[in-house]
Amino acid sequence: MAGPWAGPRSRPVNRLRGLAVGDALGATTEFLTPREIRQYHKVHRDIVGGGWLHLAPGAVTDDTEMSLALGRSIIDRRRVDAVSIAEAFSAWMRSKPVDIGNTVRRGIVHYRSTGRPKIDQNEQSAGNGACMRCLPVALAYCRAPVEQLVSAVHVQSHVTHNAPLSDAGTDTVVKMVVAALQGGGRRSMRQIADALVSGFPAFRYDGRRVENPSGWIVDTLRAVFQALFSTSGFEEALVDVVNRGGDSDTTGAIAGMLAGALYGREAIPLRWSNALDTAVRQECEQQAISLVALANGGVQPVIEGTGISNHG
C-alpha cells in the first residue's frame, strides 16, 4: 500500500461526498425497521431530511461532522496527532451537535477529565463510531506503508473506541478505501473484507440479509458489505443499505465512502449532490483535495496518544 495514488483528481472528492450523501440519505430512516420504512416511504431513495432528528433536507449528522473535524486536525497538523484530534472532537461536542453517540461522548469526557487522548481497551466500545469517521486518515495516508496507515487509524479511533472488533473493522474499511485509491476494484476490496472475516468470523456477511443493523461494528459492516457486494452501482448500494433501517445514517455513510471509491464521482446521483447542504459539500471537496495533496507531499509521522495534554 505504499504505491502512488492512481486515480483521477475527481476521485478523492467522491469519498467525502459519498460519505456525506450516505449520511444525509440514511438519517431519514435511522432507527426505523424495514417494515416501517416501507410503510412511510415505500422505497426511500431521496435526501429529504426529517427522521427522528427532524433534519432539514441535506443536513448531515455526527458521521460527517466528526469526519470533517478529524480532517481539519490532520490538515492543520499535517499528520495524525492524538491530542489535536481529541481537541477537535471536544470542540465539536462543545458546539452542541444534533446527535452524538454515547461511546463517543464518554471518550471525549474521558479526554477532558484526564488529558489522555486514548481510552483503555474495552469490549463495550466496539461500536461503529470510529469507523464512520475514518475516511480522512485513508486519504492522508493513502501513500504510506500499511503499518503507518493502521497506526494512524488506531490513534484516531482510540480517542473514543478501543476494542479488537472495532479496530479490525475500521482497519478493514480504510484498507478498502486505499485499495480503491490505488486503482483496485471490487475484487481487491472484497479480498480485504474476506480477510477480516477470516480473522474475525463474526463479520461473515454471506448469510441471511442483515436488517435493522445496530451500532455494533459487526452488525454495521455485515450490512454494508452485503449491500456493497450484492449491487452494481453507487445508488443501488446506498438505497439497499439505508432501507435496512437501524443505524442507517452510519451504514449509509460507510457504504457511501466505499461505493464512492468503487464507482467514481459520476456515479453519485446529481440530485443527491445538489440536495446536500452547500457548506458541507464545499468543505468535503476542499478537505479531500487537501488531504490527498498532503499524502502526495509526504504526510508527517503519527503522534500517538501516550502522554497527557495540558489542555484547559
DSSP secondary-structure letter at 207?
S
| Residue 264 in this model has a pLDDT that exceeds 90 | no
**110 assigned to some structural domain:** no
For residue 281, what is the domain's CATH number?
1.10.4080.10
* Number of domains the chain is built from: 1
| Residue 10 in this model has a pLDDT that exceeds 80 | no
**33 assigned to some structural domain:** yes
Mind listing the pLDDT tens digit for each residue in 296-306? 998 888 999 75
**69 assigned to some structural domain:** no
Return d(Cα 70, Cα 141) in angstroms, integer: 13
pLDDT value at position 6?
42
**86 assigned to some structural domain:** no
Q: Provide CB contacts within 8 A for 144, sequence distance 6+.
A: 1, 2, 152, 295, 299
Query: Can you tell me whether residue 30 is helix, strand or coil?
Result: coil
Tally Cβ neighbours within 10 Å of residue 52: 12
Looking at residue 29, its amino acid is T
Choice between 256 and 309, residue whose per-residue pLDDT is larger? 256
**120 assigned to some structural domain:** no
Averaged over 170-175, what is the pLDDT? 99
**205 assigned to some structural domain:** yes
pTM higher than 0.75: yes
**100 assigned to some structural domain:** no
| Residue 238 in this model has a pLDDT that exceeds 60 | yes
**79 assigned to some structural domain:** no
Domain range spanning residue 190?
11-61+127-147+164-296
Choice between 15 and 104, residue whose per-residue pLDDT is larger? 104
| Residue 310 in this model has a pLDDT that exceeds 70 | no
Mind listing the pLDDT tens digit for each residue in 120-140? 999 999 999 999 999 999 999
